[in-house]
Chain A
Amino acid sequence: MHSAVYKVGLHYLSWDISGGNARCIAMLQAFQEVVKDYSTPPENTLNRDMTAQISSYVSFLIECRPLSISMGNAIRFVKNRIAKLPITLSESEAKASLHSDIERFINEKIIGADTVIVEHAVTKIRDGDVLLTYGSSTVIEMILVHAHELGKKFRVFVVDSRPKLQGKLLLRRLIKRGINCTYTHITAISYIMHQVTKVFLGASSVFSNGTVYSRVGTACVAMVANAFRVPVLVCCEAYKFHEKVQLDYSICSNELGDPNAISKVHGREDINYLNGLTNNAKLKFLNLMYDATPSDYISMIITDYGMVPPTSVPVIVREYQKEHLLQSSKIVI
């Protein structure tokens, strides 16, 4: 077991690293360390042995926390690159090529994609806007900070939900940047939606039928915004798109969080009603991590390929895959 992979796994376990992009970058950087320290055993080929090693490391990471779809796509990219390595390359050349491929993936598909998304999304923010965002999303934070730096005058509603309360982290960062914020829980979404002019949401993935897979509660926010005729803009990098089609992701492939996080209310002992009841056979706690937002709730998906309606997601998926095939052809040539 490589120490870099082990370290990343522990970060996943303790939730020090969370979020699709952060986890993906950490995993890819760990793989870069693996590639750097790799040496081919005498009786095996580099392609086959490295693929097997990567697979075992992925199994370990899945044990720490199930993969996000962005990580799954990144792993497929790495394995595809390993399989495509010419046999004629020496070990050091192959390792250097693989290392630079991963580096380019991080810089272009994740960090560069965020920059493009920010440039697109900022054009949708006008003076006097009241924006709403849910939870904590890195790309949404970048959009709001950049709009603020451009001198636009707007307010932000930060909507949060138990038990992770990640919106507080975003709230702290936005206030330090000088952005006027209002904080509330998701139960009050109907109360504040009258004032909102636009909703910006991050996403863990977008499926081929336009369904947005994101942190649990995103569907509620988009649904209430749709009921109040407020446009919903989803910001998602193209490498997170998936050709899968799913109508109701909430039960089939969801991830479960710690059930005891629901029964415990931190910092307020007076309303810890369920304290001491966690062992009751009649009482269960269900802590879902993700939900699926139907495509009819979404006005626009902002991605590094442009701003598209949900119906255009399969086109982007196809273009994304075609781009990789062309690169493979070039390498072969």
Chain B
Amino acid sequence: MPDVQSTVVEFVNKLRKRKIEGSQATAKYTVELLRSVISHQRVPHANQAAALIDAVKAVGEQLIAANPVELAVGNVVRRVLHIIREEDLSLTTAAMGGLDLLDASDDDDVDNCKGIGFPAMSAAVVAAAARSTLRPPSLQTLLEGTPESATVPYTSSSGADSESKSKSADKSSLTRKLKHDVIEGVNQLIQEIAGCHEQIAEQAIEHIHQNEVILTLGSSRTVLEFLCAAKEKKRSFRVFVAEGAPRYQGHLLAKELVARGLQTTVITDSAVFAMISRVNMVIIGAHAVMANGGVIGPVGVNMAALAAQKHAVPFVVLAGSHKLCPLYPHNPEVLLNELRSPSELLDFGEFSDCLDFGAGSGSLQVVNPTFDYVPPNLVSLFITDTGGHNPSYMYRLIADYYSADDLVM
């Protein structure tokens, strides 16, 4: 436990100081940390899921508070909570089926009864999982505040000691099985995050065609792999990269594209409107995708989206599923933005000869935001690791990944 605690503190410090760059790296570190938390958590016999959920929530709140703008942290925490709830529901259903089997069986027909019970159990699990994801929180649940995990109905047995002992053994194995299943689910999530680039890049062949011109902004590894996958399939196309002053992420992306052999042209940010009429498609990576289908992207991306809409150019957003955020963007330009150092725009002391305070000179402020918000009506298509989707479908995709109870933490 002290080992996990020090790891949490270390990660919180990194998040607070913005040492980890990029949503994917942040998501990876977060999910690995939560796996350690789950692995080391001691769970009681009753309400194992509630204990795990509370532990993950406690750590998750610390991580989210450390960097509120990095939405991938909250996304991953909610995904892990969803995994715990799903595994608990699955085990509860299996346990009910098992008890029925035990109660109904006699020594001679044990094998036959188990065989008959399997299809019913599977159907019950599927139906319960579907109900769990779609069920809105009921008023009774909200008022009573009871945990969602259904407790196993325990019937006092008048059987022999051997039967009581077997039930105790079942309960103990259920506890270990829950944690084991949760860790397996978290491992799958880790692989999903690590492999989202390949999943998205596989779809490049369908969207990029011969002799097309692609415009992109920002520096996104997903976009880089997407374009390189199309290049490897012998698609001959050109890429316009906006330079993205004052951070010049576009220069970085252009350098990597040229190293991979793509035909690249760097343009100024101000030339986006001028060039958009010659562009076949705009492709960007997203920092986050909100519940309404809006996109948080690198600064300047809303300008490109408006220009693309004006010229009827498709605006395509690439996003791994770890970037889907169940929050609604209230006032996203301010609350979901981060202001960087003014020295990226004006050097310190550059205007000090003009700013003679008290002598009638004007004041000077410098604005250097990191992100832009793009409303969903400007987005033509989302490409995620599960395929292409309309912005209007994102809320449904989000319902698959998150539990309703975890939206507010």
Write the residues of chain A forming the contact surface with B, with a CB cutoff of 8 angstroms.
160-163, 168, 171-172, 174-192, 194, 215-217, 219-220, 223-224, 227, 248, 250-251, 254, 262-263, 265, 267, 271, 273-274, 277, 280, 282-288, 290-292, 294
Contact = CB atoms under 8 A, between A and B. Distances in A.
Closest 7 CB pairs of A and B: A217-B270, A187-B300, A250-B274, A291-B274, A161-B270, A190-B302, A273-B251
Contact of B243 (A172, A179, A248, A262): A262
A280 B258 contact: yes
Nearest to A179: B362
Contact of B355 (A175, A188, A271): A175
B381 interface: no
B107 interface: no
B128 interface: no
Contacts of A291: 270-271, 273-274
Interface string B371-389: 0110000000000000000
Contacts of A192: 367
Q: Which of A184, A191, A251, A291 has the most CB of B within 10 A?
A: A191
7 contacts: A175-B363, A179-B362, A219-B307, A224-B302, A284-B264, A285-B265, A292-B274
Contact of A283 (B245, B258, B303): B258
A171 B245 contact: no
A221 to B, nearest CB: 9
B266 A286 contact: yes
Interface of B: 240, 243-248, 251-252, 254-255, 258, 261-275, 277-278, 299-300, 302-303, 306-307, 310, 333, 337, 345-347, 351, 354-355, 360-369, 372-373
Contact of A248 (B244, B246, B262, B277): B277
Contacts of B354: 172, 175-176
Q: Which of B240, B270, B273, B365 has the most CB of A within 10 A?
A: B270
A292 B277 CA distance: 11
B277 A223 contact: no
Contacts, number: 191
Given A185-B269, A188-B369, A191-B299, 6 more contacts: A162-B243, A182-B365, A187-B244, A187-B299, A191-B372, A285-B265
A251 B337 CA distance: 35
A44 B264 CA distance: 56
A271 to B, nearest CB: 5
Nearest to A267: B347
Contact of B266 (A176, A178, A184, A262): A262
Contacts of B302: 190, 224
A185 B345 contact: yes
Contacts of B247: 271
- By secondary structure, the A interface counts as mixed
Q: Which of B244, B255, B362 has the most CB of A within 10 A?
A: B362
B376 to A, nearest CB: 14
A227 B364 CA distance: 27
Contacts of A161: 245, 268-270
A263 B302 CA distance: 24
Q: Which of A188, A194, A215, A263 has the most CB of B within 10 A?
A: A188
Contacts of B367: 182-184, 188, 191-192
Given A184-B368, A187-B300, A282 B263 contact: yes
A285 B300 CA distance: 19
A286 B266 CA distance: 6
A179 B355 CA distance: 11
B363 A217 contact: no
Contacts of A248: 277
Contacts of B268: 161-163, 216-217, 262, 287-288
Given A176-B361, A285-B266, A219 B254 contact: no
A250 B362 contact: no
A273 B244 CA distance: 12
Contact of B306 (A172, A223, A294): A223
A186 B243 contact: no
Contact of A220 (B307, B351, B362): B307
A204 to B, nearest CB: 14
Contacts of B307: 219-220, 223
Contacts of A282: 258, 261-264
Contacts of B243: 162, 262
Nearest to A173: B354
Given A184-B367, A190-B372, A191-B367, A288 B355 contact: no
A269 to B, nearest CB: 12
Nearest to A135: B270
B175 to A, nearest CB: 51
Contacts of A190: 299-300, 302-303, 333, 372-373
A191 B337 contact: yes
B186 to A, nearest CB: 36
Contacts of B274: 216, 219, 250-251, 254, 288, 290-292
A274 B265 contact: no
A181 B361 CA distance: 10
A166 B368 CA distance: 18
A181 B362 contact: yes
A194 B274 CA distance: 24
Contact of B369 (A191, A227, A292): A191
B56 to A, nearest CB: 34
Contact of B345 (A183, A217, A224, A287): A183
